[in-house]
Structure 1
């Protein structure tokens, strides 16, 4: 089964935005690499942070599920204040 190159056109993929994520091993395997690594370490793939945080995933060092949940709650609160 061929690997879908979802990263090349995704505005949420940090590989397209930040040098620190530009790893040939990630590009070769596509999104599966990030998802697999995240599941092994109980973390959320960095692209999810790009969706909920205007600063994108490049501003994060904590990709835990808890950190993601905090960002989602923070975004919801900010939207309610508008």
Structure 2
């Protein structure tokens, strides 16, 4: 294969990946495999994982006080965070 063609494909893939990053994503866990910067599916994988585990995505917590010190992200934890605001 042509080396230049491979480089061009890689650059296009990176642009596509960044373009699909949800603009409102406030998650700071860039190492998470579900973070939009680690795939091309936007927030879908994160939301799917959280729903499956009975949790709320960290971006919701970031709107009501943040995630610092949090070890649990259940719906109940989110409700408590909202009520404490």
* TM class by smaller structure: 0.5 to 0.7
Give the count of matched residue pairs.
64
Task: From 4, 23, 29, give the equivalent of 2:31.
Answer: 23
Q: CA RMSD in A?
A: 2.3
| Structure 2 Cα separation of the partners of residues 25 and 72 of structure 1 | 27
Higher relative contact order (CA 8 A, sep 6+): 1
CA-CA distance at 1:24 after TM superposition: 6.7
1:15-65 CA distances to partner (integer Å, 9 max, x unpaired)?
A: xxx3xx113733213211210111000000110000011xx2243111000
| Structure 2 unmatched ranges of 5 or more | 1-15
The residue correspondences of 1:53-64 to structure 2 (distance < 5 A) are 53=65, 56-64=66-74
What is aligned with 1:79?
none
Bigger share in helix? 1
C-alpha distance in structure 2 between counterparts of 1:59 and 1:24, whole Å? 17
Task: Give TM-score scaled by structure 2 length.
Answer: 0.62
Unmatched segments (≥5 aa) in structure 1:
76-82
